[in-house]
């Protein structure tokens, strides 16, 4: 059967976690508390709304609905400033090698991300033309670990869910791929992403022959 490849964005294609961190840290500091890089790990793959809820829990703060909405907007305005000058140099190593191989072999490619900023980021780094479908935070109602984002991506690609392969750096994302009955490939640490079918530190460890095997399986 025809295979489809689905990529998460943040932490898989580009390392935006550092910019998300700077924006959340700025907000935390304005609200009078600290936010550490370790705590930022909890935010990977997590929707913007849920991130703010966790941030407020960390700072032991409550918010009115109006404050909550204002802070969501403020964080995103700051994040957009931090990513304003992003370019192709921020693409994670060997990602283009894999995308190029899939394109050459007419294998459909989708993005499956929680971010509402996914499309402009792909545009900035010049990878938008590789993607046949983009499903992001603007198109889904249920956040990862719910499989909605990946199931919708498979639908857009016209590929059966169990013929899809997902690249993910977040635990919630690996869980979402597994729940969608897709092959999950964790990009990151083995002890964190242990639920994934395969785990690599980054794309430099992924060979073209491995991709070929996945396509032919
Ligand atoms: C990704 C990131 C999260 C981020 C989420 C929403 O999943 O890993 O850290 O909170 O996207 O991103 P957004 O760009 O919409 O705020
Ligand atoms: Mg991610």
pLDDT in tens, 96-117: 999 999 999 999 999 999 999 9
DSSP of 65-117: HHHHHHHHHHHHHHHHHHTTT--GGGBPTTHHHHHHHHHHTT--EEEE-S-TT
What separation in angstroms does the CA of 45 have from each of 24, 145, 213?
15, 9, 28
Q: What is the pLDDT of residue 41?
A: 85
Per-residue pLDDT, averaged over 4-25, amounts to 96
Atom of ligand 1 nearest to the CA of 118: 14
Q: Is the CB of 137 under 6 A from ligand 1?
A: yes
- The mean pLDDT value for 69-91 works out to 97
With the most atoms of ligand 1 within 8 angstroms of its CB, the residue from 137, 139, 149 to mutate is 137
Domains in the chain, please, with CATH?
Answer: 4-15+88-216 (3.40.50.1000), 17-83 (1.10.150.240)
The number of the ligand 1 atom at minimal distance from the alpha carbon of 170 is: 8
* pLDDT at residue 42 is higher than 90: no
**Angle between helical axes of 65-82 and 17-30 (0-180°, round to 10):** 140
Which sequence positions are flagged as catalytic? 8, 10
Please give the number of the atom of ligand 1 that sits closest to the Cα of 136.
Answer: 15
Q: Is the CB of 83 under 6 A from ligand 1?
A: no
Please give the average per-residue pLDDT across 119-146, as a whole number: 96
Does 47 sit in the ligand 1 pocket, CB within 6 Å? yes
Give residue 191 CA to ligand 1 midpoint distance, Å: 22
Average of pLDDT values for 74-90? 97
- ipTM > 0.90? yes
pLDDT attached to residue 64: 98
The residue behind tokens 């750096």 is: 169
Mean pLDDT of 190-198: 95
Distance CA 57, CA 80 (A): 24
- With a 6 Å cutoff on the Cβ, whether 45 touches ligand 1 is yes
Q: pLDDT (tens digit, 9 = 90+) per residue, 147-191?
A: 999 999 999 999 999 999 999 999 999 999 999 999 999 999 999
pLDDT bucket at 138, cuts 50 / 70 / 90: very high
**pLDDT reported for residue 217:** 85
Q: How confident is the model at residue 78, as a pLDDT?
A: 98
């Amino acid at each position: 059967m025809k295979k489809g490849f689905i990529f998460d964005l943040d932490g898989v294609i580009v390392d935006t976690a550092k910019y998300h961190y700077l924006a959340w840290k700025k907000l935390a500091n304005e609200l009078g508390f600290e936010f550490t890089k370790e705590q930022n790990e909890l935010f990977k793959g997590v929707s913007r709304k849920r991130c703010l809820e966790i941030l407020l829990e960390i700072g032991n703060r409550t918010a009115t609905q109006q404050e909550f909405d204002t802070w969501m907007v403020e964080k995103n305005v700051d994040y957009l400033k931090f990513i304003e000058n992003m370019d192709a140099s921020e693409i994670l190593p060997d990602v283009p090698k894999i995308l190029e191989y899939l394109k050459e072999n007419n294998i459909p490619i989708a993005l499956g991300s929680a971010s509402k900023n996914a499309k402009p980021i792909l545009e900035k780094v010049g990878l938008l033309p590789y993607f046949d479908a983009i499903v992001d935070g603007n198109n889904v109602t249920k956040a990862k670990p719910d499989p909605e984002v990946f199931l919708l991506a498979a639908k857009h690609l016209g590929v059966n869910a169990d013929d899809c392969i997902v690249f993910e750096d977040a635990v919630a994302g690996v869980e979402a791929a597994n729940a969608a009955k897709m092959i999950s490939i964790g990009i990151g640490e083995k002890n964190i992403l242990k639920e994934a079918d395969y785990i690599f530190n980054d794309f430099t460890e992924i060979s073209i022959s491995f991709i070929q095997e996945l396509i032919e399986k």
